[in-house]
Amino acid sequence: MLTRAERQRGYAGGGLVFAGIVVFIALAVFALLSFNSGESDRPFFDAYVWRILRFTLLQAGLSTLLSVALALPVALALARQPNFPGRIWIIRLMAVPMGLPVLIGALGLIGIWGRTGVLNSALATIGLSEPVSIYGLSGILIAHVFFNLPLACRLLLAGLERLPPDYWRLSASLGLPARSIFRFVEWPAVKPLLAGITGLVFMLCATSFTLVLVLGGGPAATTLEVAIYQSLRFDFDPGRAISLALLQIAVTATILALMALLPTPKNDSAATGRAARRFDGSDLGMRVWDGTIVILAVAFLCLPLISIALAGIRADLVRLLTSAIFWKAAWTSLWIAFLAGVISLTAATAIINARAAIADARGPGITARGFSTLLASLSSLVLLVPPVVIGTGWFLLLRPYGDVASFAPLLVVMINAMTALPFVMRVMAPAFATHRQRTARQAANLGIFGFARLRLIDLPVLISPIATALSFAMALSLGDLGAVALFGSEELVTLPWLVYSRLGSYRTADADGLAFILAILCLALTVAGTAGHRVGKDGQQ
């Protein structure tokens, strides 16, 4: 139920964002390919590439399966127990792993699961001398679940919380058993989200690099991302790097497309129509079950974070917090994160509106529907484009026009915005869709359009997903080293860069301290993000 003008604006915005992303990536690739780096005599698809491709898919597949399968019961339990002690803080803590530099997260995990970690030390005291070794596939899986379970859980929980409160009231009055609630209420709410979440987690695990090497136990554990990094950084063979990146994108896109073919109900059936009902989870057995699940998840998530915090507190925090370089880095990190977040949200809104406009059109043609699908896939697949490729490509493009150092901040913002897009989409798209279904007709009937509609109808409800999405995007950008490392500009010192520079010159304690501060910063962002969330929920009720 959009006006003609709204539809046209939707198409235009979507087209603009689409063209922007495509041009941004294509120019970088083009610049790299046209750069003459000397002969490359290495055959492309050799046994080595084949082997790492298989390993990439294996570890990513298993990691995704575990992360999402384990996230589901946690999300259900948290949704069922709205009065669980410390619930809001559990949800907030789930944002922290995302904002941590990967190496710090890995060291935190090693502090718990490692040879000399808490677990093995505990086992040793009860007489088990042979330590449990996490190095190998098991370590990679643990690490990927640590980083991705919270992400999947938050997205699933958001889906469950979007269900109208009437559902739960009704289900309570009907006295439905838990299994029926799952079948008729929870599963239909969660199911349409699964494909998107699974795809996102799969891409994150497929492109994992540091975790796979550090915890993999040897070069048998190598992902395509390692080979891309190697060919661009160490061998400087741009052609090979791009071929590998294309292989990575093609294979992952095929897998995501196959997943999309699996039968999933249409978005619209998820939230409206069917009357559903909920038991309140106050029954003792259910409370014990939910409590156990949540406590296990919290322990798994928090122990490494505690180990990071303990290491961080031991650092000379006063000295770190009073150093000029820290404030400079914190300021740079924050404004980069904020700008990247805002750009990402804007692009996501444009994509969502364009897709809505196409869906709303009476009998959209094959081109329109194709474009809608293309927009959706593009907004996911950007995650697979290695930042090192974009960064190096743009370095080459911009160099003739002046000092690259002065362009670097803008470039980092753009790359971070692009990387955050798939996350932002996962948070905003379902919320926007639900909201549109609930309000589109009434708004059209009442003749409320444009700014008035935005202020009276959209913002009060959508402010919550928008705030969550912004905090997601910012946390992601805060912890990211990727793009910054390429340019080596003195004006572009970020917090993760400081952490790595301390680690690179024996100053592990300083790095621990800075990482701890970074984690606190992420937590603060999420507190801001979830504060909006509460307001939003009240607004809905």
Name the residues that contact another protein, by CB under 8 A: 35, 37, 42, 48, 51, 103, 106-107, 110-111, 114-117, 135, 209-210, 213-220, 226, 229-230, 232-234, 236, 311, 323-325, 328, 392, 395-396, 399-400, 405, 485-490, 500-501, 503-508, 511
H-helix or E-strand spanning residue 322: none
What residues contact 31, with CB distance under 8 A and at least 6 apart? 393, 394, 396, 397
Residue 175 or 218 with smaller CB distance to another protein: 218
Residue 19 or 220 with smaller CB distance to another protein: 220
Query: In the bound complex, what is the minimum distance in angstroms from residue 335's beta carbon to another protein?
Result: 17
Residue 332 or 434 with smaller CB distance to another protein: 332
Q: How far is CA 289 from CA 85, 89, 176, in A?
A: 15, 20, 18
Query: In the bound complex, what is the minimum distance in angstroms from residue 410's beta carbon to another protein?
Result: 18
Query: In the bound complex, what is the minimum distance in angstroms from residue 423's beta carbon to another protein?
Result: 25
Is 279 in contact with 81 (CB distance < 8 Å)? no
Residue 169 or 314 with smaller CB distance to another protein: 314
Query: In the bound complex, what is the minimum distance in angstroms from residue 225's beta carbon to another protein?
Result: 11
* DSSP conformational letter for 265: -
Closest CA to 102 of 220, 245, 225: 225
Residue 394 or 472 with smaller CB distance to another protein: 394
DSSP-derived 3-state class of residue 287 = helix
Query: In the bound complex, what is the minimum distance in angstroms from residue 351's beta carbon to another protein?
Result: 33
Provide the Cα torsion 251, 56, 69, 349; round to 10°: -50
Residue 183 or 233 with smaller CB distance to another protein: 233
Closest CA to 490 of 321, 339, 324: 324
Residue 175 or 219 with smaller CB distance to another protein: 219
d(CA 294, CA 142) in angstroms, rounded, equals: 17
Residue whose tokens read 């559902």:
167
Query: In the bound complex, what is the minimum distance in angstroms from residue 146's beta carbon to another protein?
Result: 17
Closest CA to 45 of 247, 255, 254, 209: 247
Query: In the bound complex, what is the minimum distance in angstroms from residue 133's beta carbon to another protein?
Result: 8
d(CA 274, CA 263) in angstroms, rounded, equals: 19
d(CA 494, CA 521) in angstroms, rounded, equals: 13
